[in-house]
Structure 1
Amino acid sequence: MGRGKGATARAFGELSPAAKLLVLNQFGICLGFYMVLPFLATYLRDDLGFAAALVGLVLGIRTLSQQGLYVVSGTIADRLGARPMIIAGCGLRVVAFGLFATTTSLPGILTATVLTGVAGAIFTPAVVLYLTHESPGRRAEAFSVYNVVANAGTLLGPVLGAVLLSVDFRLISAIACAVFACLTVAQLLVLPKHVVEAPTGSVLHSWREVLGNRRFLLFTLAGSSYFALFNQLYLALPLEAQRVTGRPEAVGAIFIVSTVVGIAFGVRIVAWCRARWPAGKSMAIGLALIGAGFVPLAISAPLIETAGEGLSPAGSLLPAGPALLGTVVFSVGIAVANPFMLELIPIVGNEKLVATYYGYFYLVSALVAAGISAGVGGLLGLEGAAARWTPFAVLAAIGVIGGAVIITLQRRRHLEPVATGVPS
């Protein structure tokens, strides 16, 4: 763990001052966000008395307001620059969490929820754009540091939120509002301005370029397997851990293991891969590892009965062993695949339209991930021990297929920069 921290500190020290600020900014974003969002559903249902269906609608609106705007916000970032979008996004989070702290009405809650999603849509592509330009030749390394620090905020946020929840949810929201206010002021004062080389042609011309870029579209379809599998951290992995143990602590252990692996080994893993393989092969291996994380569950699920109904006694965490082992492998794959995936997007896309390409990539991936998660959810609902292996086998296959497509693109040299023209 200490060596992992040392590697992260060294990699952080090699970043530019602006990139360091963005990395620290992401820690604050994740800290403030995850202080509030994990407890929002319970607050709306138990404290405000919202119906479960209404709570689901509110959370769904938040996701839609973020994912549905990535293309638009990415296009704007490419044309106006990343800095104003980052500042605007953090400023909107100030308003959003301020509303959570001061209102309990349905219109106020809905407004806060939408603003939270819109803010994420505004600053996320812009941060990717800024880090891409700040880290030439070392983009995967920059994104690995970014992910490690984000994981630290993600881990600490719910812990701090849980402590403050004993006082009042609105206190948590007020503190998160203050965190985002400090981040906004820091960016206004310190984050350097970038000279924006605006894309030539209209917005529609830029969008047509993206849709006509065949290698990017194929890369996006393969890369969407990453998001489909990553979402299982919130679906298949915790549900299986809960099923075999009957204990919510097993679900918490899944998230803790995943986050700790990312923090401890993320930077070192990327450096190790960089020294041995090109970015495409590293991403492909990462996708295959994410899929491999579901193999222990595919083997164990038919053999371990539901807690309280058979072999697995309620109250024991031991049956969660395969899920925890799978989570370790899964998290190593995430740490490998994500930074190289972000490095490759402008290569298969266009360096002048980084945020636009990122927006399309994320939108398509989110839609694919939603469809696959719905299908996996249906498979998880199948009754009988003989059927329990199927969702995990499907997920393992998705990782292998995604990795195979990426390695094929690598071998055909479609993951290398083109000298001139629009990549195809």
Structure 2
Amino acid sequence: MLTPTARLLVLSQLLFNIGFFLVLPHLAGHLADDLGLAGWLVGLVLGVRTFSQQGLFALGGVLTDRFGAKPLIIIGCLVRSAGFAVLAVASALPTVLCGVVLVGFAAALFSPAAEASLAREVDPDARADTFAIRSMAGEVGTVLGPLLGVVLSASFSLTCVIGAVLFCLIAVLHLRFLPRRPGEHHDEGLFDGWREVFGNRAFLLFAAGYSAYLVSYNQLYLALPAELHRVAAPDQALGLLFALASALVVFGQLPTTALARRLLGRERALVAGFTVMALAFGVVALRPPGLVGATAFVVLLIFGQMLAAPFAMELVPLLAGDRRLGAHFGVLSSAGGVAVLVGSTASGALLGHGRVAWLLLGLLPLAGACVMAFTGKRRAFSS
């Protein structure tokens, strides 16, 4: 049973994703069609947004440890509102870049704070289940956000205004109901947290292995469309497969986590999850006919994610010794962001090499499984 604060933080993830995916799916089209930006500039804007989010998570984490989660979540929501407001009126590239930096930096503020706060709010044995519920709520928001955008049928500027208002309401919600707890390291140096995190070799090893999952998951946006193009799939196939992925998480995450905990335990569930993700790439390398390979890839990749991700989140506080959770969650996300940037560049170059590309991509989660198995022998994995 979740506490009221834990329920608020789960609800927050739902609302965060609704607001984000209400606006962001339309950004590229707005930049190209309405503002007339060249394709490389559109890519630059999207890349700046990703970097300003993932790259700055580590900063948001140490700020959480210093000042507490509540102010970081509230300020992050207000910063995202400001970012959407800037995008609503932006008509030139510098203003657009300012808007996307604010949108990305906002998540770097509130995401590590929300994750650290949720981890502290629940019993250690219930963390995997709680993060599974949070993942499910986030996936619902990922689906509802674009659907709401379609229902509204509004201009991009009006959609941005609606998103800005929503994040202001989320800030008010947290101002009213989220308990104020001082940062656990408020009397220490701001960047002492980074020194502690980067001195934690077990955590750094885990973060490297976890990054393999993030790079693999990102192939839904890169390798999957390439496979659909190869088999000459209809245009609507990609949307249907994304809908399938969302449905699997919404309806399958909680049963999968409960069953994995009972039958496998934390360590073996992590190893199994990464192994299943590796298998997803191997199936496509076999070149099954039609949409069989793409469908199997989505199902296996999402199933592997559902097995591994909640237990990975449960492990962060254990590896951190329940200290500086903001800094640890922040560095974990930033490491993943760097890995995705490098991994996406490499996988984009590989995808023209057919089966070899899929086999090489499958080695990454397989290496992640080995890291998890090795790290599992450490005392930090004990319950």
TM superposition score category, shorter chain reference: over 0.9
Q: Which stretch shifts more, 135-144 or 93-102?
A: 93-102
- Residue matched to 1:312: none
Among 346, 353, 359, which residue is 1:393 paired with? Answer: 359
Paired residue secondary structure (1:153): helix
Tell me the residue number matched to 1:225.
Answer: 212
* Inter-partner Cα distance in structure 2 for 1:129 and 1:252: 33
Asked if 1 retains the 8 angstrom alpha-carbon contact of 2:64 and 2:326, the reply is yes
Query: Contact 2:318 / 2:380 at 8 angstroms: preserved in 1?
Result: no
Counterpart-to-counterpart distance in 2, 1:201 and 1:28: 33
Letter of the 2:65 partner, please give it: D
Structure 1: stretches of 5+ with no match in the other structure: 1-13, 305-318, 383-387, 418-424
Of 235-244 and 135-144, the range deviating more from structure 2: 235-244
Does residue 98 in structure 1 map to residue 98 in structure 2?
no
Which residue among 325, 328, 338 is the counterpart of 1:357?
A: 328
Matched with 1:108 is 95
The corresponding residue for 1:250 is: 237
Specify which of 143, 150, 160 is matched with residue 155 of structure 1. 143
Contact 2:270–2:372, Cα closer than 8 Å, also in 1: yes
Q: Does 2:328 align with 1:340?
A: no
Q: Distance in 1 between matches of 2:90 and 2:342?
A: 34
Match of 2:272 among 255, 268, 285: 285
Unmatched runs of 5 consecutive residues or more in structure 2? none
Contact persistence 1:90–1:123 (CA under 8 A): yes
Q: Look at both structures and tell me which one has the larger radius of gyration over its CA atoms.
A: 1
Of 195-204 and 327-336, more deviation after overlay is shown by: 195-204
Code of the aligned partner of 2:170: L
State the TM-score, normalized to the length of structure 2.
0.95
For each residue in 1:28-81, what CA deviation from the matched residue of structure 2 results, as whole angstroms up to 9, or x when unmatched?
110111111111001110111111111111111111111121111100101111
Matches of 1:411 and 1:350 in 2, distance apart?
16
Supply the distance in 2 between the matched residues of 1:332 and 1:274 (Cα, whole angstroms): 15
What is the Cα deviation at residue 200 of structure 1? 6.5
Q: Does 1:294 align with 2:294?
A: no
Paired letter, 2:305: I
- 1:54 corresponds in structure 2 to 41
Partners of 1:192 and 1:413 in 2: how far apart? 33
CA contact (8 A) 2:66 2:184 kept: yes
Quote the sequence identity (%). 35
Runs of 4+ in 1 over 4 A off after TM superposition: none
Give the aligned CA root-mean-square deviation in angstroms.
1.7
Q: TM-score, normalised by structure 1?
A: 0.86
User: Counterpart of 1:145?
Assistant: 133
Q: What is the aligned residue count?
A: 382
Q: 1:200 to 1:274 in 2, by over 3 A?
A: farther
Q: Secondary structure at the match of 1:351?
A: coil
Partner of 2:62: 75
Q: CA deviation at 1:194?
A: 2.1
**Which of 364, 368, 372 does residue 343 from structure 2 map onto?**
372
CA distance in 2, matches of 1:42, 1:121: 25
- Asked whether the 8 Å contact 1:237–1:254 carries over to 2, the reply is no
